[in-house]
Every structure is written in structure tokens, then in C-alpha cells.
Structure 1
Amino acid sequence: MPGPRERLLEAAERLTYDHGTTVGVDALLKAANVARRSLYEHFGGKDGLIAEVLRRTAEEDLAKYATTMDRAGDDPRTRLLAIFDELDRVVSTPTFRGCRYLAADLSLTPDHPAHEVTRNYRERLHALLRTELDHLGHPDPATAADQLHLLVEGVLAAGAANPGTHPGRAAKALAATIV
């Protein structure tokens, strides 16, 4: 059985995705089956726990983007467009609730430590896109990476707001004109 730290992380990852970052401490403690002291010992409080959950999921999500591109082969254009097929699949699942990073940014106070994590996540995703565009020999990789990143964020937002609409398909068509 995982220890208290891991149980807190697992419970917070699930509950904050399903119910938002405003989920109560008592609900987190109950779901993790840990004492309040464990929360403060391992994370310094709920803010630290939320930031750590986002840090952990960011690593997982960035790895998923890389895996998606790797599965698409070596051609940078194909690799970039594969992202939108995968996003369309993700936003079409019944458990999709939107982008956890955007939700955190919108719900947390401006001084919350999670904002540094979400900013870092976005910077790294942008760099991943930019690297592929550089390999493609795109004439303006910085601007194209901005545009593709905007499409990624848009797919995630539209998928949450309008289930069943397949925004990844529309975004892929736009992405094809960018790359």
C-alpha cells in the first residue's frame, strides 16, 4: 500500500480534476485516508499539494505529447499533426473535464505557487512544438509554435465546453495550414 505522501497525491490528482482546486482539505484527507499532519509534513499545506500534483501531471502530460509524436514517425509535420488526433481522442472520452492547468490558473489566487508550475508546463510544451518546427525548417518557428500552442489550448477548452464536437479535427485542419 502506498504511503501517506503518495496517497495524498493520488487523491488530490483525482479530486482536483473532478471537482476543481477548491475541493476541501477534509475531502482530500478522507480520500487519501491520512491524518492532517501528513498534509503539512509532506507539502506544507493544500497549496503545496496542489502545486505538486500539477508538477507531477505536467511531467506525465509532456511525456504523452512526446510519445504521441514518436509514434507518428520521423516527419516533423506528421509528428505535429498527430498531436491533434490524440487531443481529439482525449477530449472525446467521458472522463474528460478540461485542462487542469487552465482550470488551476483560473481558480487560484494570483500568488498561488501552482502558477509557476503551469507557466513552466506551457513553456515546455511550447518548446516541444518549436523544436519540431525547427526540424521542419519552418520559416517562422516561434510564431508557428505560438499558433499551434493556441490551437492545443483551444482544443482542450472546446472539448470541455462542448462535448462531442471533435475540436481536435478542426484544429488539425488549421494546424496543417500552419505547418
Structure 2
Amino acid sequence: MSPRPASGPRERLIDAAQELTYSHGMGVGVDAILKAANVARRSLYEHFGGKDGLIAEVLRRSADEDTARYEETMRAAGEDPRARVTAVFDRLGEIIAAPGFRGCRYLAADLALADPAHPGHAITREYRRRVQDLLRDELDRLGHPRPEHAAGQLLLLIDGTLAVGATRTGTDPAASARELAEQILDAGR
């Protein structure tokens, strides 16, 4: 854990919590976060009101970063909507194969945050909506007859790919999901 240079207590808390909640789960203790961030407990309450507020901010930051990564992956694939969508699954294969991969942060959060009113749930829902909108836009460009429905199917494949990638090592769920995604894309022809 190496905090960003010259970052204040708020940023150090977010950095530490972002890393620890991914590597150790949402149940990571406040003391571990405070130690990794090298801040006093008071800073947690001043900046976030407690752990729930910190978790919500971590999810918000992560969602912004991950949405930008989806956009970057799609942009790098060129202008063809089909290539832009399938590039997402190729990128997921790379992510799953990378050291330290622990699955989908948002699925893990939804499962771990028992209180349905936890602010993190609204953030994970919004994140998934943003990703689905990106996919739907590409399906619209392809002229798919049911872009919203197909985008939901693609999002289901993404969630499943990340879950299987974390729980069944030695498999290649991204390649299988890419094949299924191609079938969804072809349904629009």
C-alpha cells in the first residue's frame, strides 16, 4: 500500500479502503484501514461520518474509474460497435488473468452490505446502469432491434465472467462470455 504523494488524510483513507476492501473484502476492519492510511480515527468521522460513508466514497471513486476504463477499452477498439463490445470481453480476460484479481468489487459489495439502505447499494446500481448504457449505445449503433434488453444480457455476461473468474481458477470465462456476446450481437442482424 503506497498512498499517493502528498495526499491528505481524506485521500489516504480512500486509497487504503479502496485497496483493502478489494483485497480483503468489505468486512475489513476500520483499524486496518486507519493503519494503512496512517490517519487517526477522528479523520474517518470528520471526512466520512464513519465506515459506511467511506465505503460509499470508495465505491463512487471505483465506479468512476472503472466506467472510464470501459470507455477507454471501447475507444481503443475503434469505431465498429461490434468490435467495441467484444473488446470488453477481451479486456475482462486480461483482468481476470492479472495477479491480485479478486472478482467484481460491486458484486462483492452488494453481497457483503447486509443493510439494503446502505448508500453503497445505490452506487453499485448506478455503476451498472452506466455500463449498461455504454453497451446499449453500441447496440443502438449496430441497429439491434432490442438494444436495452441485449445490453442487460451483456451486463449479465460481464457480471458472470467476473464472478466465475474469481471462483473457478483455471477457466476462461471471458472467452466463453465473448462467444455468447457475439450471439447477442448477431441477434440484431
State the TM-score bracket (shorter-chain normalisation).
over 0.9
Equivalent residue in structure 1 for 2:182, among 167, 170, 176 = 176
Matching residue within 100, 105, 129 for 1:100: 105
| 1:111, distance to aligned residue in structure 2 (A) | 1.6
Q: In structure 1, give the amino acid aligned to 2:71.
A: A
CA contact (8 A) 1:159 1:165 kept: yes
CA RMSD of aligned residues (A): 0.7
Residue deviations 1:16-66, cap 9 Å, x none? 001111111111111100001100111111000000000000000000001
**2: distance between equivalents of 1:54 and 1:163?**
25
**Alignment correspondent of 1:160:** 166
**% identical aligned pairs:** 64
Unaligned runs of 5+ in 2: 1-5
Ranked by relative contact order (alpha carbons within 8 Å, sequence separation 6 or more), the top structure is: 1
Partners of 1:56 and 1:126 in 2: CA distance: 18
Q: Counterparts of 1:107-122 in structure 2 under 5 Å?
A: 107-108=112-113, 109-122=115-128
What residue in structure 2 maps to residue 91 of structure 1? 96
* 1:67 partnered with 2:76: no
Task: Report what 1:55 is aligned to.
Answer: 60
Stretches of 4+ aligned residues off by more than 3 angstroms: none
Structure 1 residue 37 corresponds to structure 2 residue 42: yes
1:145 — aligned with what? 151
Give the aligned residue type for 1:68: T
Partner of 2:14: 9
TM-score (norm 1): 0.98
The aligned residue for residue 132 of structure 2 is 126
